[in-house]
C-alpha cells in the first residue's frame, strides 16, 4: 500500500494524473498495442490454410514479411509525426489505417492483394506500437514508468499466445478471414477510449517533415529486407540480384545518414547516438529482435507439423511463453518503480533468452511437450525481463521534445531485427529441410526434386493423415523437419550472445521522478528548456484549456 501511494504521488507530481486516471488512459493504449502485437502472431497458424485457398505456397513468407517491412520502415515516421503534430491525433490515425488494412486483408481475393493489404496493415501497426510507449512517456515519470510498462510487456505476452490460439480457432471453426475481421471491434473500442480519456498537450511549434530523409530510410530498409527475404529462396545469396539489393540498401542508408546531418527536423536526430545508453539499447533491441521474432515465428509450425497438434492446440501450448513474459515483465516493472534500479535486468534477460534458444535447439521429433513447454518458459522469462526496460532507459535519457522519435527508434530497431531474423532464419530452415530430406527419406520419395514432400511440410493436416497411411514416410519427414528447425534455433544463439555483450555496457542512471527531461545532447540546456515550455511539459509550463485534447 505504501509503495502504491508513493507511486501515485510521483505520477501526480510529474504529470498531474492519479493512478486511476493513468490506468484509464492505459486501457485505450493497451488495446491499441494489443491490436498490433496480436497481428504479428495470429497469422502464423492460418498461413497453411491461406496458401491452400490461393494455391501460392511460393508467396507464403511474403504475408509476414510485407507486414514487418511496412511496420519497420514507417515506425520512425510515426514517432516524428507524433512529436510534431501531437501524439493523440497521430495515434488515432494509426488505428484507422490499421483497421482499413484489416478489412482489406479479410476481403482479399488472391495472394497479391493479401500481401499488398498486409503492407497497409503494417503501416498502421508501426504507429500503434511506437506511439503507445511515447504517450506513456508523456503522462508517467520515468521512476513510476517501470510499473506501468510491465503491463505492456504482459500485453505482448498475451498476444503471443492469444494470436496463435485465435488464429487456430478461426481456421478450425470459422474462416481464416476472421483473423483480420477480429481487429474491427478491438480497434473501434480503442478509438472510443482514447478519444474520451487521452488528454495530451497540443504541440504549437512550427513543423516540417523531412520527406527526403523519409524516402531514403524507407527505400534503404526495404532494399535490405527484400534481400534477406529473397536470398536463398528466389535467388542464390551470391547472385547479383541479392548482392545488388544489399549494396543499394547500404548506399541509401548512407544517404539517409548524410541527409539527417543537414535536415532542420531530422526523422532520427543523430545527436542521440552520442548517448551511450541510447546506442546500446538500440543495439540490444535489434539483436534481440533477430532472435525473438525469428524463433517465435517457427514454434507454432514445429508443434503442428512434428507433434501433429491442431492450430488451436499449438496456441495453447505457447502458454508457458505468456507465463514467463507476464511474470517477469510485471515483476521487474514493479521492482524498478520501487527501487529505481534497472541495471541488471537487460543482462539477465538476454542471458535467459540465449539459454532458451540453446534449449530449443535440442528439441527433436519426439521431445515431450512438457520439455518443450519448459524451454519456452525460459525463453519467455528472458524476454519479460528486458523488453520494456530498453524503452524505459531510453526515455529517461532523452529530452521530452524528442520522446517520440527516441521511443520509436527502439521499436524500429527491434522490428528491423525481427524482419531480418524472420527472413534470414526462414532461409536457414528452407535450406536445412532440403539438406535433411536425403538423410531421412528414401530416394523414391525424393523423385522429381521432392516437391510433393515439400508440400506436405506446408500442410499440417495432410502430413498428420500420412501418419496413418504411411508411418515410415511420416517419421522421416518429421525427423528431417525437427533437425532443420534445431539448426534455426542454433543459428540464433550466437546472434543472441551479441545482445549479452551489449547489455554489459548499460549503465545505471538515476530515473527521474518527474517528466522534466534532460538537456538535448544536440543542443543547449537553455534551448531544451525553451522547447519544453513550448510543448507544455517543462516545469512551470502552462497549457491553455483550449490546448488540451
- Based on the domain organization, do 112 and 227 belong to the same domain? no
Q: What is the pLDDT of residue 444?
A: 66
319-339 and 369-397 helices cross at what angle (nearest 10)? 30
**Do 230 and 371 lie in a common domain?**
no
DSSP 3-state of 223:
helix
Domain extent, residue 288, equals 2-198+265-515
Average pLDDT over residues 159-170: 73
- Together in a domain, 56 and 131: yes
Nearest to 547 by CA among 89, 139, 201, 86: 201
From the CB of residue 276, how many other CB atoms can be counted at a distance below 10 Å? 12
Helical spans, DSSP H, in 398-459? 403-440, 451-457
Within a domain: residue 549?
A: no
What single string gives the DSSP state of each residue in 513-545?
SSS-PPPPTTS-HHHHHHHHHHHT-STT----G
Give the whole-angstrom CA distance, residue 83 versus residue 90.
9
pLDDT-wise least confident of 457-461, 471-475, 483-487, 516-520: 516-520
Is 536 part of a structural domain of the chain?
no
Going by C-alpha positions, the residue among 168, 226, 173, 174 that lies closest to residue 48 is 168
Look up the CATH number of the domain holding residue 418.
Answer: 1.20.1250.20
Q: What per-residue confidence (pLDDT) applies to 453?
A: 58
If asked whether residues 278 and 321 sit together in one domain, one would say yes
Nearest Cα residue to 391 out of 439, 424, 342: 342
* pLDDT (0 to 100) of residue 543: 33
> pLDDT-based confidence at 531, cuts 50/70/90?
very low
Please report which confidence band the pLDDT of residue 359 belongs to, taking 50, 70 and 90 as the band edges: very high
Lookup: cell for 409: 527508434
Asked if residue 309 belongs to a domain, the reply is yes
What is the 8-class DSSP label of residue 268?
S
Q: What is the mean pLDDT of residues 165-176?
A: 76
pLDDT digits (tens, 9 = 90+) for 253-297: 899 888 888 877 777 777 778 888 888 888 888 888 877 766 667
Number of domains composing the chain: 2
Rounded to whole angstroms, how far apart are CA atoms 218 and 18? 40
- Which of 52-66, 156-170, 533-547 has the least mean pLDDT? 533-547
280 with 255, same domain? no
Please compute the mean of the pLDDT values over residues 62-76 and round it to a whole number.
Answer: 75
For Cα atoms 500, 486, 371, give the angle at the middle one, nearest 5 degrees.
Answer: 85
In a domain, residue 322? The reply is yes
Amino acid at each position: 500500500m505504501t509503495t502504491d501511494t508513493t507511486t501515485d504521488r510521483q505520477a501526480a507530481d510529474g504529470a498531474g494524473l492519479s493512478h486511476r486516471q493513468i490506468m484509464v488512459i492505459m486501457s485505450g493504449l493497451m488495446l491499441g498495442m494489443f491490436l498490433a502485437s496480436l497481428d504479428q502472431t495470429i497469422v502464423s497458424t492460418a498461413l497453411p490454410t491461406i496458401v491452400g485457398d490461393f494455391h501460392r505456397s511460393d508467396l507464403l513468407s511474403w504475408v509476414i514479411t510485407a507486414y514487418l517491412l511496412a511496420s519497420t520502415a514507417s515506425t520512425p515516421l510515426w514517432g516524428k509525426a507524433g512529436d510534431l503534430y501531437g501524439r493523440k491525433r497521430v495515434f488515432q490515425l494509426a488505428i484507422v489505417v490499421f483497421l482499413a488494412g484489416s478489412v482489406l486483408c479479410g476481403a482479399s481475393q488472391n495472394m497479391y492483394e493479401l500481401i499488398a493489404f498486409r503492407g497497409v496493415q503494417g503501416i498502421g501497426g508501426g504507429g500503434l506500437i511506437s506511439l503507445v510507449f511515447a504517450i506513456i512517456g508523456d503522462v508517467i515519470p520515468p521512476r513510476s514508468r517501470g510499473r506501468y510498462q510491465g503491463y505492456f510487456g504482459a500485453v505482448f505476452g498475451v498476444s503471443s499466445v492469444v494470436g496463435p490460439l485465435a488464429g487456430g480457432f478461426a481456421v478450425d471453426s470459422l474462416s481464416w478471414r476472421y483473423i483480420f475481421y477480429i481487429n474491427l471491434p478491438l480497434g473501434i473500442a480503442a478509438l472510443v477510449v482514447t478519444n474520451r480519456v487521452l488528454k495530451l498537450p497540443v504541440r504549437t511549434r512550427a513543423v516540417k517533415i523531412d520527406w527526403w530523409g523519409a524516402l531514403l530510410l524507407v527505400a534503404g530498409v526495404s532494399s535490405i529486407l527484400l534481400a534477406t527475404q529473397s536470398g536463398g529462396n528466389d535467388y542464390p545469396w551470391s547472385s547479383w540480384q541479392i548482392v545488388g539489393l544489399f549494396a543499394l540498401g547500404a548506399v541509401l542508408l548512407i544517404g539517409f545518414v548524410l541527409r539527417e546531418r543537414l535536415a532542420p527536423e531530422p526523422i532520427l536526430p543523430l545527436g542521440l547516438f552520442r548517448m551511450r545508453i541510447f546506442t546500446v539499447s538500440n543495439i540490444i533491441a535489434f539483436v534481440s529482435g533477430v532472435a525473438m521474432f525469428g524463433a517465435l515465428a517457427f514454434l507454432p509450425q514445429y508443434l503442428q507439423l512434428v507433434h501433429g497438434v491442431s492450430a488451436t492446440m499449438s496456441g495453447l501450448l505457447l502458454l508457458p511463453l505468456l507465463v514467463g513474459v507476464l511474470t517477469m515483465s510485471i515483476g521487474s516493472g514493479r521492482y524498478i518503480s520501487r527501487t529505481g534500479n534497472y541495471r541488471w535486468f537487460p543482462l539477465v534477460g538476454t542471458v535467459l533468452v540465449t539459454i532458451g534458444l540453446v534449449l530449443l535447439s535440442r528439441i527433436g521429433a519426439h521431445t515431450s511437450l512438457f520439455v518443450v513447454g519448459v524451454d519456452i518458459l525460459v525463453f519467455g522469462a528472458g524476454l519479460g525481463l528486458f523488453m520494456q526496460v530498453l524503452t524505459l532507459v531510453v526515455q529517461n535519457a532523452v529530452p521530452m521534445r524528442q520522446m517520440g522519435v527516441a521511443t520509436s527508434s527502439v521499436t524500429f530497431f527491434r522490428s528491423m531485427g525481427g524482419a531480418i531474423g524472420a527472413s534470414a532464419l526462414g532461409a536457414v530452415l528452407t535450406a536445412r529441410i532440403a539438406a535433411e530430406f536425403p538423410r531421412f527419406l528414401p530416394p523414391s520419395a525424393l523423385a522429381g526434386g521432392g516437391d510433393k514432400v515439400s508440400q506436405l511440410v506446408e500442410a499440417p493436416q495432410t502430413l498428420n493423415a500420412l501418419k496413418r497411411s504411411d508411418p515410415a514416410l511420416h517419421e522421416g519427414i518429421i525427423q528431417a523437419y525437427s533437425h532443420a528447425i534445431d539448426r534455426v534455433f542454433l543459428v540464433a544463439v550466437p546472434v543472441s550472445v551479441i545482445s549479452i555483450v551489449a547489455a554489459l555496457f548499460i549503465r545505471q542512471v538515476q530515473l527521474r521522478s518527474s517528466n522534466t527531461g534532460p538537456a538535448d545532447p544536440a543542443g543547449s540546456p537553455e534551448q531544451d528548456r525553451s522547447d519544453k515550455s513550448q510543448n507544455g511539459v517543462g516545469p512551470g509550463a502552462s497549457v491553455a484549456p483550449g490546448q488540451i485534447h
